[in-house]
Chains A and B, each alone.
Chain A
């Protein structure tokens, strides 16, 4: 059992650096479902326990704990979510390179397997840590708590948490982030926001990536924006191409504004 938070039910582990193979730093064992049966022939009485308990309350508590840590150190934490292949990692690479004079960046990478993404991020000179969720389809606040303990982001920094590529499950799990940003790309179809509404509903900004491919795909940008605004009228939308750099300035401007707002509060 983990002494920090009393955890003992997760299969995720953080990938250690500089090894050819992964050591499960924080490998949790499965539930122990065994329970003892009385052998002293007791009478049995029926009782109803009124719990009214949120199933995800433990995640919510740990998310608040992360949020408190980020607040205290004025770290701006962004949870980046999308389906696989929308260009999250490339968006990060470009952002980290273009803004390295402006911010001190840290990255937590979430994938089911491999540390390929963390390796790409480290190649930009940014401190990064990889979480492998195994069969898990999302990051949760508990995994992020332990990743942050190892990553040790400094005060006034910007922390990107790249979630597992999945537009459904990660929407339920608060990580303690300041903002959730959803990425979609023009190769995916303009109906994504209404097919997977929860993720667009819980995000504050949406990046529509790969705009350089617009001449080659049947993607209606106006329709996509309309669909996204139906699900979440407050959503900020950025149309970008991480390949050509088109539209990236608007995203950078928003990011700088958000960080400034947090750090001047």
Chain B
């Protein structure tokens, strides 16, 4: 399952960024995951639980925003909610469309606790 490999990539990036910022701990991470990004939420949750053990994200809260798929028909330019990649345009019925949103796989932000020496 690629979800675990994605979780490990997230941990790498988060730890790297947190350490660069001199963080003692990461208290929260916010993610944006497109519904057309091939990430299966249940598999992702499972992989997360296992993956974050012994990492800086073990105790961190996770906010995961799942972004709806949005497509635009290449023929009539109608924009529509895209739930699958093989969904015809609701106006003209064509399959020739472009994905505008829904492929995201991003770390939006990290909330860290910094050490401040007296």
Contact = CB atoms under 8 A, between A and B. Distances in A.
Interface of A: 9, 31, 33-35, 37-38, 40, 42-56, 58, 136-138, 168-169, 171-172, 193-194, 197-198, 201, 227, 229-231, 233
A42 B117 contact: yes
A56 B105 contact: yes
Contacts of B85: 197-198, 201, 231
A241 B104 CA distance: 38
Interface of A is mostly: mixed
B60 interface: no
17 contacts: A9-B8, A31-B55, A33-B55, A37-B24, A48-B109, A48-B111, A49-B18, A49-B109, A51-B107, A54-B106, A136-B5, A137-B2, A137-B5, A172-B37, A197-B85, A198-B38, A231-B86
Nearest to B33: A55
Given A9-B8, A44-B116, A49-B110, 11 more contacts: A31-B8, A33-B15, A33-B54, A43-B115, A49-B109, A50-B108, A51-B109, A137-B2, A138-B2, A172-B37, A198-B38
B66 to A, nearest CB: 14
Contacts of A35: 15, 19, 56
Size category of the B interface is 35 or more
Interface string B23-48: 11001000000000110000000000
B49 to A, nearest CB: 15
B2 A172 contact: yes
Contacts of B27: 46
